[in-house]
């Protein structure tokens, strides 16, 4: 049986997708229910959650899939650096940082002939 | 009478949460889903399954891993393991959000149900916005935002799937890049605890470092190791300041 076959595809998605993600969400509810919102333990959980998301961000930038896989690393890092500079210099507004990064990336891709 | 007013106010906050659909983070997430559509269309996964996946899995990184497992013909157990490992991060994310959302009276079943709507975008959005919502209305607010966002993206995926076949490469590349950049900017912007800034910087370095050292468990190790280091550093600085003051 392969994943293309009707019901099996849905069972596959339900088990390997839904169950595999919601288990962690439920455990998070159980753990979070025991945390007081001013405790040192919550501060640690907050740090771990943020570091995990940061690691996902770094991987998306360093090891992208699709079109960007063929783009040079210096372009992606350069676009982030330009965007970060704009973000910190111009009032720390997320929209400014995001727009500047994407504009720099688009310009670079265009210049490289994508 | 009093309870009527309360119910009404919950409805108002639910609707306020729904309006979050017209916000920058929701817009960026929808663009990311357009990107995901083009990935699944190229992988040959039928649109009904992509819509089903969007509703059931929700977290975008987990879905990308699920799709790549399906494409490579991985067994159910292998796919389950890969998706599970990529989703461990949901546990501390939910655990950090729950104390911000609940009151002493919030039933656990409701939190278990609502936790399904947590993924990075909803988490970042909720951690930032719930501060301005009265505590006993935060669950209604999050439900309004979370449920609307999932349903809207299921509809979006069902419609857009048929049109994404060939985006110009620059557009596809920029769509992909929006997601990490949005996460970065909004987490930095919305952080209310100094430990978040430190953890963000350490995680950005620890992610690639552990990918290089132990690619199977990189995100998990970067999170637990990097997060613990960030927490210890911040605690050390905080203690020293308290002693100094």
C-alpha B140/C-alpha A25 separation (Å) is: 18
Q: With 90 as the cut, is the pLDDT of residue A76 above it?
A: yes
Is residue B91 within 8 angstroms of chain A, CB to CB?
A: yes
Is residue A78 within 8 angstroms of chain B, CB to CB?
A: no
The A residues from 91 to 110 touching B (CB cutoff 8 Å) are: 92-95, 97-98, 101-102, 105-106, 109-110
Tell me, what's the ipTM? 0.83
Q: With 50 as the cut, is the pLDDT of residue B186 above it?
A: yes
What is the residue whose two structure tokens read 């796919």? B79
Whether A67 sits inside 8 A of B193 (CB atoms) is: no
The DSSP line for B110-129 is: HHHHHHTT-SHHHHHHHHHH
| Closest by Cβ to B62, choosing from A21, A27, A49 | A21
Cβ(B29)–Cβ(B121) below 8 Å: yes
> For residue A36, which residues of chain B lie inside 8 Å, CB to CB?
99
C-alpha A46/C-alpha B110 separation (Å) is: 22
What is the residue whose two structure tokens read 């891709």? A109
Q: With 80 as the cut, is the pLDDT of residue B195 above it?
A: yes
Domain ranges, ordered by start, for chain A = 65-114
Among A39-48, A105-114, B79-88, the range scoring the smallest mean pLDDT is: B79-88
Whether B177 sits inside 8 A of A68 (CB atoms) is: yes
Is residue A88 within 8 angstroms of chain B, CB to CB?
A: no
Beta-carbon contacts of A76 under 8 Å, excluding residues fewer than 6 positions away, are A61, A62, A64, A68, A105, B177
Task: For the beta carbon of residue B7, count every other beta carbon within 10 angstroms.
Answer: 11
Whether B206 sits inside 8 A of A55 (CB atoms) is: yes
Q: With 60 as the cut, is the pLDDT of residue A7 above it?
A: yes
The B residues from 209 to 238 touching A (CB cutoff 8 Å) are: 210-211, 218-220, 222-228, 230-231, 234-235
pLDDT of the residue at A52: 83
C-alpha A107/C-alpha B183 separation (Å) is: 22
C-alpha B202/C-alpha B206 separation (Å) is: 6
Q: At what angle do helices B169-190 and B24-43 cross, to 10 degrees?
A: 140
Task: For the beta carbon of residue A53, count every other beta carbon within 10 angstroms.
Answer: 28
pLDDT of the residue at B219: 76
Residue B165 binned pLDDT confidence (cut-offs 50, 70, 90) = low
> For residue A67, which residues of chain B lie inside 8 Å, CB to CB?
169-170, 172-173, 176
Q: With 60 as the cut, is the pLDDT of residue B193 above it?
A: yes
| Closest by Cβ to B87, choosing from A20, A35, A76 | A20
């Amino acid at each position: 049986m392969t994943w293309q076959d009707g019901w099996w595809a849905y069972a596959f998605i339900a088990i390997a997708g839904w169950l595999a993600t919601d288990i962690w969400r439920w455990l998070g509810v159980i753990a979070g229910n025991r945390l007081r919102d001013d405790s040192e333990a919550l501060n640690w959980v907050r740090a771990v959650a943020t570091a995990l998301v940061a690691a996902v961000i770094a991987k998306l930038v360093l090891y992208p899939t699709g079109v960007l896989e063929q783009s040079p690393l210096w372009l992606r890092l350069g676009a982030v650096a330009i965007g970060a500079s704009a973000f910190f210099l111009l009032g720390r507004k997320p929209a400014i940082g995001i727009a500047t990064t994407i504009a720099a990336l688009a310009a670079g891709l265009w210049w490289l002939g994508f | 009478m009093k309870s009527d007013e309360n119910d009404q106010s919950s409805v108002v906050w639910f609707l306020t949460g729904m309006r979050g659909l017209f916000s920058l983070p929701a817009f960026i997430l929808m663009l990311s889903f357009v990107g995901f559509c083009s990935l699944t269309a190229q992988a040959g996964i039928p649109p009904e399954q992509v819509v089903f996946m969007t509703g059931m899995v929700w977290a975008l990184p987990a879905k990308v891993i699920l799709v790549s497992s399906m494409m490579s013909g991985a067994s159910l157990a292998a796919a389950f393991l890969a998706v599970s490992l990529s989703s461990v991060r949901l546990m501390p994310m939910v655990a950090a959000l729950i104390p911000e959302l609940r009151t002493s009276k919030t039933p656990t079943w409701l939190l278990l149900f609502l936790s399904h709507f947590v993924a990075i975008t909803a988490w970042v959005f909720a951690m930032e916005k719930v501060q301005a919502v009265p505590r006993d209305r935060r669950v209604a607010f999050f439900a309004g935002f979370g449920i609307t966002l999932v349903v809207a993206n299921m509809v979006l995926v069902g419609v857009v799937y048929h049109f994404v076949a060939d985006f110009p490469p620059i557009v596809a590349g920029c769509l992909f890049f929006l997601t990490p950049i949005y996460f970065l900017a909004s987490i930095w912007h919305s952080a209310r605890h100094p430990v978040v800034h430190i953890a963000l910087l350490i995680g950005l370095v620890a992610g690639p470092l552990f990918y290089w050292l132990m690619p199977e468990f990189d995100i998990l190790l970067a999170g637990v190791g990097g997060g613990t280091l960030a927490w210890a550093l911040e605690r050390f600085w905080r203690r020293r300041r308290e002693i100094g003051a």
